Structure 1
Amino acid sequence: MKNLVIKKTFIGTITMLLFSILTTAQEQEKYDKGFRLGIGINAGVPTNDPYDFNLGADARLQYDLSKKYSLTFTTGFSNMFVSGDDNDLGYIPAKAGFKAFVLKDQLYLMGEVGAAFAVTNGYDKTSLMLSPTIGYATDKIDISLRYDYFNDFPIEKNNSIKEGLGLISLRIAYGFKL
């Protein structure tokens, strides 16, 4: 019974979202659709031990569906630094998402989902990556705050190794039309 309610809610939400996008797209037919590229740096604080901080760089390709809605693809390289003798965790994120401007075409909400490919220090596991974001963008500058969740990266909890790493990051980027 629960699964049926969840499925109906999910289908209803997707239907309303698609209807909203199509309606908005029809109202804004004169908007110049196209690609944008953003190059950014990000720094963050992991929410779990043994990691101390995260530093990375990324590139985000964005396709504007309308003035308010965009599709995104983000990749780059980030490193989770660990103090002491433990190994750092470097990874390459590959995420696709949806961006919606909610206030004066500058404040936006974005959700991305993808994978984080560990590439350093002998750790070779790939993790699902979920990234809700809130940001502010102008024609050239993009500043955002996001939460990343990695379901398969190791953490320390109660003196044992578990999985499920969280990260809060600030991203500053320069963007331009292609």
Structure 2
Amino acid sequence: MKKLFLIVGLLGLSPIFAQTTDIELTPNNSWLKAGLTTGVPVGDVSDVSNFNVGLDVRGQYLFNPNIAVGIASGYNHYFGKDEFDDFGVVPAAGFFRYYFTPDGLFLGTDIGYGFLTNNDNSGGGLYINPQIGYHNRDWNFYAFYQNTLAENDVDLQNVGLGISYNIRFK
């Protein structure tokens, strides 16, 4: 199942990256995003964790003023309740964002694979992270729903808030 998700993801993103080979990367169309997230587990995972924090790292390419694609990773740490150990998710995903205006509302989603840490029941699975937020030239503020549909019926869901800073290439 892992290999299937990886193959579908790579095939789905390959036309996007194939089209960008003749495009020059500049500080106006490409940058890194680095940020922090915090969330509350929902669903079954709320039985074993009541809080999570994360690091968010992205490389973004802006096709035009409204459409961006890129790669996303980071680490989401779930704090275990009572006798449960802490665990985490390391996403490896592609992302898409639609910016309505140069400063203002955006919608986006990450789709990829989430690798689970400190979890003996599953190695990981499909990772989905839809977002809605506000952005300007330097900052992104957003709300998200994050879900990792892992093997052996492990389903990690959380809702939260994030902030990231745009680091421009020079």
Task: Name the TM-score class by shorter chain.
Answer: 0.7 to 0.9
Shift of 1:153: 6.8
Instruction: Report whether the alignment pairs 1:172 with 2:163.
Output: yes
Partner of 1:99: 97
Partner of 1:42: 37
Give the conservation status (yes or no) of the 8 Å contact 1:68–1:105.
no
SS of residue matched to 2:154: strand
Cα distance in 2, alignment partners of residues 81 and 142 from structure 1? 25
Instruction: Give the structure, 1 or 2, with the largest relative contact order (CA under 8 Å, sep 6 or more).
Output: 2
Instruction: Report whether the alignment pairs 1:76 with 2:67.
Output: no
Partner of 2:106: 108
Partner of 2:133: 135
Cα distance in 1, alignment partners of residues 98 and 70 from structure 2? 11
Cα distance in 2, alignment partners of residues 44 and 176 from structure 1? 24
Partner of 2:148: 150
Give the conservation status (yes or no) of the 8 Å contact 1:115–1:127.
yes
User: Unaligned 5+ residue runs, structure 1?
Assistant: 1-30, 155-161
TM-score with structure 1 length normalisation?
Answer: 0.72
Partner of 1:54: 52
Rg: which structure is higher?
A: 1
RMSD of aligned Cα (Å): 2.3
Residue identity in the other structure for 1:47? V
Shift of 1:56: 1.0
Paired positions, count: 142
User: Unaligned 5+ residue runs, structure 2?
Assistant: 1-25
Residue identity in the other structure for 1:40? G
Shift of 1:41: 0.5
Residue identity in the other structure for 1:174? Y
Cα distance in 2, alignment partners of residues 60 and 98 from structure 1? 11
